[in-house]
Amino acid sequence: MAVSIDEMETTINFCTAETEARIYSSEPNMLKKLAKLAEESSEVTLKRRDHYGAIYVLPKSFIRIAPPRKVNMSVEQRQALRDKMRSMNAARTA
């Protein structure tokens, strides 16, 4: 059963006294990220999965909240990166 966009959510839950955090998600992009993280790290485990979403358990140290990264680039650097990405996308679709 598919979940509508309004019902997709990701919830992070942890307590101060515990060393682990639980992440529940029904959002496909987050589920892919968590599955990849679980493959790469033995510290991340899939606790439960159903047709709506999944619950992963991981160390609290994996949780990080930070402001977006600021990139200071000149106009020329941005244009060079834009051109590079266009050529990469053109080569990929050709």
- Along the chain (94 residues), what's the average pLDDT of each consecutive run of 10 residues? 83 95 96 96 95 95 92 91 94 83
What per-residue confidence (pLDDT) applies to 1? 58
pTM of the predicted model over 0.75: no
At position 67, the amino acid (one-letter code) is: P
Residue 13 phi/psi, 5-degree rounding, is -130, 125
**3 state SS of 45:** strand
Instruction: Write the DSSP string, 58-91.
Output: EEGGG----PPPP----HHHHHHHHHHHHHHHHH
